[in-house]
């Protein structure tokens, strides 16, 4: 459970209901751990499944209106929902007026049909389980890892809009204040001197360098290489990479592109900002990449 996102929703909408996929069996539209928040006039997040989600949201509003205790329900997607998945999903619905404290959480549910095996998605880092009539999960203060997007232009905004909703990373978009208006998806990180900001950030973060200026990109790469990072990607062509390789080497960085990934995205998808974002997201969601760009600083 993302406590920060839950608290933001509570602050904005008041009491709400949370629906979480507690377990699955067979083919299911979302993995265990996927959740959505439902309030009187709206909802956020998704458990997938079309009719499944519509019915779950309707039931969640009833739980919220009645102040009912947490409930566990099993849904057979074929017989109950008329869907072709053929599997089953166990949903936990609870009304919330305050965010639980961070740490391990055990939510009593009472007797319920026992689910079969369930496989959380490793790329998303989700993990809940049903045990002894309880939902077991961990409440975190937001995603465990930070992703900084340097530049709020077309590509930076496309990256933020694609990556922030996944809730896999805390997504921050760094740029000059004027370039952050209107605000992009994720959290804005305004700074007049981006390389100076890069030198102050903790090294346990991922970075995507996509500013409007090649000189600024170079200065950021220099700062990040000196600071350290979990992974780093730089937008650019083979020519830009070759030039940056020479210039960064002259600044004292040995084999910089063994640490920085450039180009980013999937060139087969094209150069449209959203196409670049899709390629980057696929790279970062690949379990083989450990949630990053497979380059350690």
pLDDT for res 42: 95
pLDDT for res 286: 84
pLDDT for res 297: 56
Residue range 81-110: mean pLDDT, rounded: 88
Using the predicted structure, report yes or no on whether residue 26 has a pLDDT greater than 60.
yes
Confidence of residue 192 (pLDDT cuts 50, 70, 90): very high
Environment class of 4 (CB within 10 Å of its CB; exposed 0-12, middle 13-18, buried 19+): middle
Q: Give whole-number Cα distances, 73 to 27, 70, 76, 117, 200, in Å.
A: 17, 10, 10, 16, 48
pTM for the structure as a whole: 0.79
**Taking a C-beta distance cutoff of 8 angstroms, is the pair 258, 293 a contact?**
no
Domain ranges of the chain: 3-139, 145-289
pLDDT for res 122: 41
Phi, psi angles (nearest 5°) of residue 188: -70, 145
> For the domain 145-289, what is the CATH code?
3.40.50.720
pLDDT for res 144: 75
Using the predicted structure, report yes or no on whether residue 222 has a pLDDT greater than 80.
yes
Cα torsion through 200, 201, 202, 206, rounded to 10: -150
pLDDT for res 120: 46
């Amino acid at each position: 459970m993302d406590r920060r996102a839950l608290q933001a929703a509570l602050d904005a909408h008041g009491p709400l209901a949370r629906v979480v996929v507690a377990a699955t069996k067979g083919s299911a539209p979302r993995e265990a751990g996927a959740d959505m928040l439902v309030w009187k006039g709206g909802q956020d997040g998704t458990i997938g499944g079309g009719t499944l989600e519509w019915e779950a949201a309707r039931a969640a509003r009833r739980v919220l209106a009645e102040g009912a205790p947490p409930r566990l329900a099993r849904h057979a997607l074929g017989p109950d929902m008329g869907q072709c998945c053929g599997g089953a999903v166990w949903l936990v619905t609870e009304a919330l007026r305050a965010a639980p404290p961070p740490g391990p959480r055990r939510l009593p549910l009472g007797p319920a049909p026992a689910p079969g095996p369930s496989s959380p998605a490793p790329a998303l880092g989700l993990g809940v389980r049903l045990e002894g009539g309880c939902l077991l999960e961990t409440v975190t203060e937001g995603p465990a890892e930070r992703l900084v997007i340097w530049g709020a232009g077309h590509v930076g905004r496309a990256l933020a809009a694609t990556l922030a909703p996944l809730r896999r990373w805390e997504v921050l978009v760094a740029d000059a204040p004027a370039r952050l208006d209107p605000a992009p998806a994720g959290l804005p990180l305004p700074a007049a001197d981006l390389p100076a900001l890069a030198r102050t950030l903790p090294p346990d973060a991922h970075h995507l360098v996509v500013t409007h200026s090649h000189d600024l990109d170079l200065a950021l790469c220099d700062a990040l290489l000196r600071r350290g990072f979990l992974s780093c990607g730089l937008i650019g062509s083979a020519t830009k990479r070759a030039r940056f390789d020479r210039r960064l080497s002259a600044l004292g960085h040995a084999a910089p592109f063994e640490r920085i990934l450039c180009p980013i995205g999937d060139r087969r998808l094209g150069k449209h900002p959203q196409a670049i974002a899709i390629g980057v997201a696929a790279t970062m969601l690949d379990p083989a990449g450990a949630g990053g760009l497979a380059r350690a600083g």
